[in-house]
Amino acid sequence: MAEALDPAIPAAVDELAELVLREACDRGLMLTAAESCTGGLLASLLTDIPGRSHAFERGFVTYTDEAKQEMLGVRPAVLETDGAVSEAAARAMAEGALANSHAHLAVSITGFTEGGPGQPAGLVHFASARAGGATRHRVERFGDIGRAAVRLRALETALGMLRDELMGTAAAADAA
């Protein structure tokens, strides 16, 4: 169980994080995360589980466009054309996290937790990248459920993507 984040993290999310770390450890794989709207919450969760956190290699908290460019190598054209909350940005973030780490699997999260002009509340883009494999994208529209709820749902979605990559079910999910 995650110690520092308990009881803030729902039990189902905590169990999913434990499963992801266990599978990564069993397969000798390292994980990395590129986070924007979750602000490092996924990295915190994955490093808070005793006995398995060594499977998490590093995390990138890239809240600004500049951070996405400098830390992950996201091209300015992607951010200018598609925006920081887009499929293109999520894919570039995951691929950049993989390229700038020693990890085998990366996941990225970028979205709007709150609404504003041109910013639909709860719109979150995710991507998972695997060394030597395809980068997968997922978009969720959680709606105007509040900042904390969007972040928790984003954690669960990102962990689910990592689980699918580790269990070899990501390709099947893409085909469905």
pLDDT one digit per residue (tens) for the chain, 176 residues: 555 555 688 999 999 999 999 999 999 999 999 999 999 999 999 999 999 999 999 999 999 999 999 999 999 999 999 999 999 999 999 999 999 999 999 999 999 999 889 899 999 999 999 999 999 999 999 999 999 999 999 999 999 999 999 998 655 455 44
Query: Which residues, listed in sequence order, are joined to residue 110 by a DSSP beta bridge?
Result: 125
Query: Which residues, listed in sequence order, are joined to residue 27 by a DSSP beta bridge?
Result: none
What was the pLDDT predicted at 172?
47
Radius of gyration for the chain, computed over Cα atoms and rounded to the nearest angstrom = 15
Checking DSSP bridges between strand 105-111 and strand 56-61, what pairing results, if any?
A: unpaired
What's the CATH class of domain 11-175? alpha beta
Q: How many CB atoms lie within 10 A of CB 115?
A: 13
8 Å CB contact between 121 and 110 = no
Provide DSSP, 149-169.
HHHHHHHHHHHHHHHHHHHT-
- The amino acid sitting at 168 is G
Work out the angle at residue 119's Cα, subtended by the Cα atoms of residues 69 and 41, and round it to the nearest 5 degrees.
60
3-state helix, strand, coil in the chain (%, to 5): 45, 20, 35
